[in-house]
Amino acid sequence: MEPVGVGVVVGGSYESILIRENKDRRIEIGDLLVAKENDRKILLKVSSLRFGEGEENHSLPINYAEIPTVATARPVIVMSPGGIVPAKIIPRLGSEVVYASRDDLEPLTGSDGKGIYLGKLRSGSKVIDLDLFLNGEDLFTQHVLVAATTGRGKSNLLKTMIWSALSRGGYGILVLDSHDEYYGRSGKGVKDHESWKQGNMYFSTNPPPGASSLVFNLSTIEPDHFFGIMSLTDAQKQAMIVYNREYGDKWLEKIVIGQDQELVDSRTARVLRRKFRLSLGIYARNGRIVSETNAFSQTAGSSTIKSIVSALESGKVVILDTSRIGDEAELLIGSIVATEVFSIYRDRKGDGTLDGKAPVSILIEEAPRVLSEEKIEEESNIFASIAREGRKFRVGLIAVTQIVSLIPKSILTNLNTKIILGNEMSLERKVLLESCSNDLSFEDTAVASLDRGEAIVSSILTKFGIPIYTPLFGSSGGS
Ligand SMILES: Nc1ncnc2c1ncn2[C@@H]1O[C@H](COP(=O)(O)OP(=O)(O)OP(=O)(O)O)[C@@H](O)[C@H]1O
Ligand SMILES: [Mg+2]
């Protein structure tokens, strides 16, 4: 295919190269353009558009239709036979600029056949027939942030990534699925992957045939699991610790059932009972514990944590359908499993046996529930610890959010890959773009105008903010 000339470089500066649009062309925000010089190609990304007034001296009445559009673009990388480097030069004045072709962009896809598929490359709203892959180990252990306002395609993209992880094999992914949307209980989902039945697991309080019961034995829950997750006063925490010391793994049952002689101030015990009832749906009746959601039990579920962790360690996907158990119970369960994985992996690192294990990544929706400034300022929790130091132990987070601004900068900078989908809130865009590894300061308009399924992937694993489009899950083969 002949390269299509779209415009000519007419001025500007590094931050904003001005490109006059050719008459029969229509440059779009987000378009990838190329200025070629011998064997060197400068890749430019269009950040803004305006009318090109003031170039000629109009003595005659102005014919507005004759005034060309001028695009503002930013050089992002320079590609040459020697490799790809960040752009430190600008094209020559008068250079012709063409649409980036499939051949131009091919070197950016990382298609070594092993990576995790995120979507197709995109230039403006034009989808290019090239798949973007990122190295799974790096991607998952260096944390991922998926940010967008509602309905922009976050879950769709994640489903696509999980599908790809299943194809590659060897990636432990724990999905806290508060909408029960990944497995595909009614419709296509990750369960339809040809390798799903090879050890990947789905837990639900309402399990379909072949799935497992989402039930945790109360004796597997520790006071630590609550800390930084549920809001508790010092007296309440202290009370939990006292019970734990006295009754070991029966501590929670003992609090919930209530003793003739309370170990702690009876008011504190009463408040805790009420909290556990409201947030976890557990309470005592006739000396036995009732779990409203069936997610907790005195008798069943003693091996649940073990099976989840051992599936993750062997590189399997584990989906926990938390859609019927409530917000706080979901976070508690997430905390229980995350704590266990983290501690096992930390020990493995200690005794030098970590390499044989699969990297593990934990997907959590509405991540500010555990990562917000407010939350972790009060008291840190396992999710914040993973964000800060999980990488060393090959444990990562996939944090999904609509509101990035709630997450403190110190955490955001640790989430090394940012997948940015559409966002119409300018404050959110600002915080997001400022926290990226690549310079995305000029991309504000581009992010504001992203359509459903369109994203920008900014990462220490990419040379610049790579525009992609993730097709609707199930609409094509997937990778
Ligand atoms: N690339 C796409 N093409 C067409 N439809 C899409 C695409 N991506 C997502 N959708 C559809 O758009 C809707 C919203 O997508 P999705 O659930 O992935 O968004 P979300 O960002 O996760 O939203 P929420 O914030 O509500 O969780 C869904 O019905 C989904 O099927
Ligand atoms: Mg979603």
Half-sphere exposure of 451 (CA within 13 A, CB side): 12
pLDDT given at position 188? 95
Place of tokens 């500066």: 13
User: Rounded to the nearest whole angstrom, what is the distance from the C-alpha of residue 181 to the centroid of ligand 1?
Assistant: 11
Percent of all residues in the chain with a pLDDT value above 90, rounded to a whole number: 87
Q: Ligand 1 — pocket residues by CB below 6 A?
A: 148, 150-156, 402, 452-453, 470-472
Give the number of the ligand closest to the Cα of residue 421: 1
Q: Whose CA is nearest to atom 16 of ligand 1?
A: 153
pLDDT at 409 over 60: yes
Return the DSSP state at 348: H
Q: Is 342 left (phi over 0), alpha (psi -120 to 50) or beta?
A: alpha
Distance CA 16, CA 48 (A): 9
Ligand 1 atom having least distance to the Cα of 454 = 1
User: Rounded to the nearest whole angstrom, what is the distance from the C-alpha of residue 277 to the centroid of ligand 1?
Assistant: 34
User: Rounded to the nearest whole angstrom, what is the distance from the C-alpha of residue 32 to the centroid of ligand 2?
Assistant: 28
Distance CA 148, CA 428 (A): 9
Ligand 1 atom having least distance to the Cα of 148 = 21
Considering only 142-146, 166-170, 265-269, 363-367, which range has the smallest mean pLDDT? Answer: 265-269
Rounded to 5 degrees, what angle do the CA atoms 53, 57, 60 make?
100
Percent of all residues in the chain with a pLDDT value above 70, rounded to a whole number: 95
Distance CA 282, CA 299 (A): 14
pLDDT band at residue 260, thresholds of 50, 70 and 90? Answer: low
Distance CA 162, CA 90 (A): 39
What are the residues whose beta carbons fall under 8 Å from the beta carbon of 87, sequence distance 6 or more?
42, 43, 75, 76, 77, 78
What are the residues whose beta carbons fall under 8 Å from the beta carbon of 203, sequence distance 6 or more?
211, 212, 213, 214, 304, 308, 318, 319, 320, 321
pLDDT band at residue 141, thresholds of 50, 70 and 90? Answer: very high
Q: pLDDT tens-digit profile of 324-352?
A: 999 999 999 999 999 999 999 999 999 99
pLDDT band at residue 208, thresholds of 50, 70 and 90? Answer: very high
User: Rounded to the nearest whole angstrom, what is the distance from the C-alpha of residue 309 to the centroid of ligand 1?
Assistant: 30
Which whole number is the average pLDDT over 243-261? Answer: 90
Q: Ligand 2 is a single-atom ion; what residues have CB below 5 A from it?
A: 154-155
Query: What is the helix (H) or strand (E) element at residue 123, kind and residue range?
Result: strand 116-123
Which whole number is the average pLDDT over 67-95? Answer: 95
244: helix, strand or coil: helix
User: Rounded to the nearest whole angstrom, what is the distance from the C-alpha of residue 473 to the centroid of ligand 1?
Assistant: 9
pLDDT given at position 3? 61
User: Rounded to the nearest whole angstrom, what is the distance from the C-alpha of residue 187 to the centroid of ligand 1?
Assistant: 15
Place of tokens 């294990």: 357
User: Rounded to the nearest whole angstrom, what is the distance from the C-alpha of residue 401 to the centroid of ligand 2?
Assistant: 9
pLDDT at 1 over 90: no
Check residues 362 and 476 and name the one with the higher pLDDT: 362
pLDDT at 479 over 80: no
Q: pLDDT tens-digit profile of 279-293?
A: 999 999 999 999 999
Distance CA 52, CA 65 (A): 11
Residue-range domains of the chain with CATH:
5-108 (no CATH), 116-209+312-469 (3.40.50.300), 219-296 (no CATH)
Give the number of the ligand closest to the Cα of residue 188: 1
pLDDT given at position 53? 66
pLDDT at 229 over 80: yes
CB 84 within 8 A of CB 77: yes
- With 0-12 / 13-18 / 19 or more C-beta atoms within 10 angstroms meaning exposed / middle / buried, residue 283 is middle
Which whole number is the average pLDDT over 13-35? Answer: 95
CB 325 within 8 A of CB 295: yes
Ligand 1 pocket, mutate which of 120, 145, 155, 157 (most atoms under 8 A from CB)? 155
Q: pLDDT tens-digit profile of 374-384?
A: 888 888 999 99
pLDDT band at residue 60, thresholds of 50, 70 and 90? Answer: low
Which whole number is the average pLDDT over 16-31? Answer: 95
Distance CA 210, CA 202 (A): 9
pLDDT given at position 473? 96
Positive or negative, the CA dihedral 74, 80, 86, 91 is: negative
Ligand 1 atom having least distance to the Cα of 152 = 21
CB 90 within 8 A of CB 75: yes
Return the DSSP state at 450: P
pLDDT band at residue 264, thresholds of 50, 70 and 90? Answer: confident
Ligand 1 atom having least distance to the Cα of 179 = 27
Ligand 1 atom having least distance to the Cα of 471 = 1
pLDDT at 56 over 60: no
pLDDT given at position 117? 96
Residue type, 470: T
Which whole number is the average pLDDT over 97-125? Answer: 90
pLDDT at 476 over 70: no
pLDDT given at position 47? 96
pLDDT at 190 over 70: yes
